[in-house]
Structure 1
Amino acid sequence: MAKELTESRRTQYTRRAMQDALVELLADKPIGRITVKELCDRADVNRSTFYAHYDGIEDLLHDIENDTIDWVSGALEQLLEQPDPDSMRHIVEHICRYIADNRSHLRILMSPKADAGFQQQLLGLIYGHGDIAAQLQPQGTDPAEAEMRVRFAVSGSIGLLQHWLATDLEAAPETVARIIIEMSLPGGSARREE
């Protein structure tokens, strides 16, 4: 777990430099082969600075993951507060823009090169919000069917986002968001045209 430090601008900059360095290194090799010395050289910080913030490389990776999970959790809370399809489209677009803005980190986090547990943690976060099933289904839908639809929508969305990241974001965030909404909401394209 990242050590608690006052979040001054300098601290934020240092943490970001180390996070960026780790993401760059993960693009070339698995986490188990990255050394603290190598990371510090890449981030242009000394080892004592690294250890003032983190206990090890995995701790740094978990800090990146936790930042992402915190952001996604906040976006999901917004989604749950805005049940109409148009508001959901805006939230999904917002999430897609976040992914585009943070593509280097998320490309690694969503790949097998990083901690394999991250995607499961992300799915657990989404699945943990049972209200999503109710909001993505027509009135009167069987709860078991609603749960299956949500799991399919979430898994499909993650697969689409992985593909989008792997193709270096060839599509616009709005296009990806539209596809997610159309595929996730029953009658999604019909709702969009009304």
Structure 2
Amino acid sequence: MTARELTESRRTRTTRRLLQDALVELLAERPLNKISIKELCIRADVNRSTFYAHYTSLDDLLRDIEDNTISWVSGALDQLLAQPDTAGIEHVIASICQYIADNRSHLQVLMSPKADLGFQQQLLGLIYSRRSVAEQLQSQSTTDPAEAEMRVRFAVSGSIGLLQYWLATDLEAPAETIARTICTMTLPATT
């Protein structure tokens, strides 16, 4: 790759990030259907042609934000699956909480009632589709498949609910506290 290609790539990433951040700021104020491309461009300090060089619509921009988040979550789930023990799982959960803290503005919007509920359903679907995550979380807790499924549903929904609460309270608790709470409530007790 040439120096120019690296610079263009960096410039492209920077421009996309400016547009994403501006959309998130506007979504915190009002729904997507009340936001215009013109005001987004003003907020991001880019012109309309720059916007259209990267995205076809505001929906396209929002999908890009959601896709980036889903991609990261998918990678985090892969890391979770690779962990051989509870300590490794706890470490990955702590890194997920730290990612949320580092990306709070985007995630506060994506996980709020203001956002596209389809994204939240997609997120849950991704987690539930990874049966081995569920099996790893609950493998030692019971031999009854129906009870194991209920425990998994409770663990996932409860964890998502706690993360939504944490985001809604503007991350009042430290990431480590949230991670510890999730681990305590969802991982089987070891003896």
Tell me the distance in 2 between the aligned counterparts of 1:22 and 1:168. Answer: 19
Amino acid in structure 1 at the alignment position of 2:117? A
Equivalent residue number for residue 44 of structure 2: 43
TM norm structure 2:
0.92
Tell me the distance in 1 between the aligned counterparts of 2:67 and 2:95. Answer: 19
| Paired residues for 1:67-86 under 5 Å | 67-86=68-87
Tell me the distance in 2 between the aligned counterparts of 1:32 and 1:108. Answer: 15
Residue correspondences, number = 184
| Paired residues for 1:1-194 under 5 Å | 8-137=9-138, 138=140, 141-187=143-189, 191=190
Retained in 2: the 8 A contact 1:79–1:88? Answer: yes
TM norm structure 1:
0.91
Q: Which runs of 4+ in 1 moved over 4 A?
A: none
TM-fit CA distance, 1:140:
5.7
Tell me the distance in 2 between the aligned counterparts of 1:169 and 1:163. Answer: 9
TM-fit CA distance, 1:166:
1.1
Q: Over the residues paired in the alignment, what is the CA RMSD in angstroms?
A: 1.5
Tell me the distance in 2 between the aligned counterparts of 1:66 and 1:27. Answer: 19
Retained in 1: the 8 A contact 2:155–2:186? Answer: yes
Q: Choose between structure 1 and 2: higher helix proportion.
A: 2
Amino acid in structure 2 at the alignment position of 1:8? S
The unaligned stretches of length 5 or more in structure 1 are: 1-5
TM-fit CA distance, 1:114:
1.7
Q: Note closer, same or farther for the CA distance 1:16–1:133 as it changes in structure 2 (3 Å cut).
A: same
Tell me the distance in 1 between the aligned counterparts of 2:146 and 2:84. Answer: 20
Q: Does the residue aligned with 2:124 lie in a helix, a strand or coil?
A: helix
Percent identical among aligned pairs is 70
Q: Does the residue aligned with 1:123 lie in a helix, a strand or coil?
A: helix
TM-fit CA distance, 1:161:
0.5
The unaligned stretches of length 5 or more in structure 2 are: 1-5
Tell me the distance in 2 between the aligned counterparts of 1:142 and 1:60. Answer: 44
Q: Does the residue aligned with 1:8 lie in a helix, a strand or coil?
A: helix
